[in-house]
Structures are given as structure tokens and as C-alpha cells.
Copies of this chain bind each other. A is one copy, B any other.
Amino acid sequence: MTAATPKGERRRQALVEAAAALLVDGGFDAIRHRAVAERAGLPLASTTYYFDSLDELVTAALEFHGNAELAYGKARLDELDPRECGGDAFIELVLDLLLGPPGDGDAEAVLLRYERLVATGRRPYLRPLMRRMSGELHSLLFDIFTRAGQPVSRERVEELIALVDGAVVNALIEISPDPRAAARRMLRKAMQPR
């Protein structure tokens, strides 16, 4: 169900944002009617009024969060100074796009991106959305490589993404996971000139 009134639209949006916040904090399973309503400061019934099912709410939350991530990526592309992308800085840029900007809750934040990919395996209804967002991310990386004076094939982009993703997933089982460091190591090795 969609809102028909400006106020209704604002309410609906508040629910989506609350759901996205829960998604970041606790993964897909954290998105529940009651939790979303409480986080948005709205009554329980508002969640069923604006969303026909929980899946719809989950989809909206994922889309919201994905768009935010893509917007961040595009901003980074726009402000990219081709003279300043020597090796290490460029690698950090790529990591920022794939893992999000570095921070305290690093492992926690990174986890979500990969939880999303895997969770999609058991939630087919998310596939179209995930495909779209994944495609845009690939294009974004392609553009960034090109702009940085390191043109690559689309195939190569996929290869590098796979390398980073694999490094991250395998780093998650460490005692104190540092997926970003693992990804950095792999990326550095793969990108060093031969």
C-alpha cells in the first residue's frame, strides 16, 4: 500500500528509514513490525497499514539503504581527483566503495553487505533489487578505474570484486575479524603491476 497524503508519505518514509537502520544494526531478521514501529516512534499498526507484508517492508529498507550506498559511491566518483589516485589511496577508495567508509563498527558494517548477498539466496523476492544495485555498483567501479587512469575490462572489475568479497567472507571467522585489512591485502597483490 502506498500513501495518498503528504503526512502519510512522511510516516511511510519514517518507517522505511527505521527499518533500514535496523537492517544495518542487526541484519534482516531484525526487521520486525514491532521493532520498526518502535524505532520510528509510531504505533504497530502503521507498519501493516503502509506495507502489505513484512517482505515489502524489508524490500523497501534494502532499497533505501542500497540507494544511500550508491549515492555515497557516486559522490566519491565526482570528487575524484585523477592526480591523487596513486596506489594506496586508490585502493582505499575501492575499499570504501565495496565495504563502506572505515569506522569503528567496521566488521559489523561490512557484515551487512555480505549478509545481504547470502540472504538473497533464501529470499528470491530480493533478487531483482539486488541485481540492480549490484549492477550499478559494478558500473561505478568501472567508471572509477577509468577516471583514475587505470582502465580495466568489466571482467576484470568482476574479478577484483570477487577477490575482495571472498577475502571478506573468509575474514569473518577470525577471533577479532578485520575484513578490511584482509581485503586490502588481496587487492594490493592483485593490482600490483607485473
Contact: B170 with A134, CB < 8 Å? yes
A130 at the interface (CB under 8 A from B): yes
Q: Report if A15 contacts B (CB, 8 A).
A: no
- Contact check, A118 vs B118: say whether CB atoms are below 8 A apart: yes
The answer to whether B174 touches A127 (Cβ under 8 A) is yes
A189 at the interface (CB under 8 A from B): yes
Verify B134–A121 contact, CB threshold 8 A: no
A contact set with B: CB distance below 8 Å = 27, 29, 107, 111, 114-115, 117-118, 120-122, 126-127, 130-131, 134, 158-159, 161-167, 169-170, 172-175, 177, 186, 189-190
| A interface SS class | helix
Most buried by B among A117, A131, A169, A175: A169
- Given contacts A161-B166, A162-B167, whether A173 and B122 have CB atoms under 8 Å apart is no
Number of copies: 2
Whether A186 touches B169, Cβ cut-off 8 Å, given contacts A27-B122, A118-B111, A122-B111, is no
Question: CA separation between A55 and B121, bound complex, in Å?
Answer: 23
Distance in Å: Cβ of A169 to nearest Cβ of chain B: 5
* Nearest chain B CB to A31 CB, angstrom units: 14
Q: Are B163 and A131 in contact (CB under 8 A)?
A: no
CA of A161 to CA of B173, assembled, Å: 14
Partner of A169, one of B107, B117, B122, B127: B117
